[in-house]
């Protein structure tokens, strides 16, 4: 477990963003209309395991499922990172940066319509 202030976590996020694969960084930085947001913790919905701890989630419509109508008035897609999960699971600042990179790659893959099963095959589980 590591303790980081909000500012320190934001610095880790910025460092992670600087170390993303270049093409993915382009998509996330605006060309693909994907925002990266941070929330303190994941709050499980009704029927979900109350102990569920997620690193992040993708909110949006995958590119493979978009239609012209789905674009009208749609909010930007978002990758939401859950800070407490990172802090509980990581021992060092560098661990946090590495896990942020992995989580962003994983969630951005959903933006491109890549399934969890395929991500596991590619080593990004």
Distance, in Å, from the CA atom of 96 to the CA atom of 88, rounded to the nearest integer, reads: 10
Q: Which tokens sit at 38?
A: 């941070």
Structure tokens at 90: 């990581």
Domains present along the chain, CATH in parentheses: 6-113 (3.30.2010.20)
Tokens of 63: 């590119």
Q: What is the tens place of the pLDDT at every residue in 9-56? A: 999 999 998 998 777 777 666 545 678 899 999 988 898 888 888 999
This prediction's pTM: 0.80
CA 108 to CA 104: how far, in whole Å? Answer: 6
């Amino acid at each position: 477990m590591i303790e980081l202030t909000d500012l320190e976590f934001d610095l880790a996020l910025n460092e992670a963003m600087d170390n993303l694969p270049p093409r993915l960084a382009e998509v996330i930085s605006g060309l693909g209309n994907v925002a990266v947001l941070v929330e303190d913790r994941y709050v499980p919905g009704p029927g979900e395991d109350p102990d569920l701890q997620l690193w992040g989630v993708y909110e949006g419509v995958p590119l493979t499922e978009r239609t012209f109508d789905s674009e009208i008035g749609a909010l930007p897609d978002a990758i939401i990172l859950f800070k407490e999960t990172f802090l509980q699971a990581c021992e060092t600042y560098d661990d946090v940066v590495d896990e942020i990179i992995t989580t962003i790659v994983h969630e951005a893959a959903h933006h491109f319509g890549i399934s969890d099963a395929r991500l596991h095959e590619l080593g990004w589980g």
